Structure 1
Amino acid sequence: MFVFLAVFAGFLLPVQTSVNSRLRATVGTPLAASTISFAVGTASLASLALAVDGTLRPDVGGLPWWMFLGGAFGVVVLTANIILLPRLGALATAILPIVGQVTMGLLIDAFGWFRSPVVELSVIRVTGAVLVLAGALAAAGVLDRVRSGDLGEADAGASLWFWRLFAVACGMLASSQTAVNGQLGVNVGSPVLAAFISFSVGLTTLIALLLITRTPIRWNAEVGGTWWMWVGGVLGATLVFLNAALAPILGTGLTVMGVLVGMMAASLMIDSLGLMGTRRRQASAPQMGGVLVMLAGVAMIRLL
């Protein structure tokens, strides 16, 4: 059941991306859209925390500073694709963060980083992770792009390797965010409060960036708006809450891999059906098979 919840959490991510893309078109800039999304998510988590825990001020005395970095990690991960796509091209932007996520998830579990429970790095676990990674590459359309020669354009300057390493690091930050928020939830006694703290930190970071860069928020009347473009923050809040709740139960590695399965499955569904204003793209057989391979990898890690 918990693995399926991790998959469901991943399912929300591409939906949130599509929703926030529509919000961005309406308010003008990615930073403005991210700030609004985080504000909505923070407000929804505040309401839930008051209903469930009766407070927005948990006892955080004595907790290490790194437990409050989850929100800042989330801001970096949220904007990474915007930065990386024009510099690395579509192929590397899809692959490298996934490599970082899977690798960091295994390392956190193997060495017990961020106070996570230690999970032995067995041959079966590594094999399952390789299957998840291979399936993710297939589901992301990497095999189709390699066969067609459509690898995307990328800068060929001396800084290319810096951006490649940055992409891997962003994936590692995504896994670290899962572990950090999970431990914060354990220490404050509530994954809802942990998610609220994480979103509050992220919102504060975004507001500071908005003020420093003097980024305006303008309503684009030509694009207009729809009611569902405001729910991206709620979806993101649900994702962070589920990660915080599941990481101490499943371990960071398995939680991350379950999220990846859901993310790829939802992406293929949105593209195949042309949902939320996206251009319709029929999923190929390798892409569909990639999701099944990812499921096999997750099952291997969990069941064997």
Structure 2
Amino acid sequence: MIYIILAIAGGFLTILSMVVNASLAKRIGVFQGAFINYIGGLIIILLITMGLREYLHMEALVNIPFYAFLGGALGVVIVASSNVIIPKIPTIYSTLLIFIGQIFTGVIIDYLRLSHVSKGKIIGGLIVVLGILYNSNVDKKQLVDEN
């Protein structure tokens, strides 16, 4: 149960972070906003790691494959692209589109790692896509009717 709560909290904080970062990016620029985001994250993780020093095993870093360090680079791309996207489209659509990307990426990774794909995940992803398309058409129709 705790993992479910943590996953929901992580999702909440991810969207909140995207909105805050996008607001910052509108004021100071996309890449400057991403830079501030990562400087803030660096400070926080340094404080956490200093507090948890006895649990860190820095010598284990040499056994980590190079690609494992690419998460930070991917994070910069995600933050910078979110800083561009969030102000342009409603947050709910941004969230749902990111969710769709995550679902289908998860399906691809599961297939590559486990050699099978869950039909339920594919169907669920397609239902979400259809829901977004339907909702965006309803929103467009309401905007036309109001004008």
Alignment TM class, shorter chain as reference: 0.7 to 0.9
Listed one character per residue, the Cα deviations across residues 22-59 of structure 1 (whole Å, up to 9, x for unaligned) are xxxxxxxxxxxxxxxxxxxxxxxxxxxxxxxxxxxxxx
Which letter does structure 1 place at the counterpart of 2:17?
Q
Q: Tell me the equivalent position of 1:292.
A: 126
CA contact (8 A) 1:254 1:301 kept: no
- Please give the alpha-carbon distance, in whole angstroms, between the structure 1 residues aligned to 2:104 and 2:32: 29
Shift of 1:186: 0.6
Q: Tell me the equivalent position of 1:251.
A: 90
- Please give the alpha-carbon distance, in whole angstroms, between the structure 2 residues aligned to 1:301 and 1:249: 17
Q: Tell me the equivalent position of 1:185.
A: 25
- Please give the alpha-carbon distance, in whole angstroms, between the structure 2 residues aligned to 1:254 and 1:294: 11
After superposition, the CA RMSD in angstroms is: 2.1
Q: Tell me the equivalent position of 1:265.
A: 104
- Please give the alpha-carbon distance, in whole angstroms, between the structure 1 residues aligned to 2:135 and 2:35: 30
1:195 matches 2:34: yes
Q: Structure 1 pair 172/210, CA: closer, same or farther in 2 (3 Å)?
A: same
- Please give the alpha-carbon distance, in whole angstroms, between the structure 1 residues aligned to 2:7 and 2:123: 25
SS in 2 for 1:220: helix
Shift of 1:281: 5.1
Q: Tell me the equivalent position of 2:45.
A: 206
- Please give the alpha-carbon distance, in whole angstroms, between the structure 1 residues aligned to 2:132 and 2:82: 16
| Higher RCO, Cα 8 Å, sep 6+ | 1
Deviates more, 1:227-236 or 1:168-177: 168-177
Shift of 1:290: 1.0
- Please give the alpha-carbon distance, in whole angstroms, between the structure 1 residues aligned to 2:46 and 2:137: 44
Q: Tell me the equivalent position of 1:118.
A: none
Unaligned runs of 5+ in 1: 1-86, 94-163, 275-279
Unaligned runs of 5+ in 2: 139-147
Q: Tell me the equivalent position of 1:234.
A: 73
Superposition map of 1:21-100 within 5 A: 87-88=1-2, 93=4
Give the aligned length. Answer: 137
Shift of 1:273: 1.1
More helix by share: 2
Shift of 1:207: 0.4
Shift of 1:167: 4.7
Identity %: 21
CA contact (8 A) 1:254 1:298 kept: yes
Normalised to the residue count of structure 1, the TM-score between the two structures is: 0.42
SS in 2 for 1:249: coil
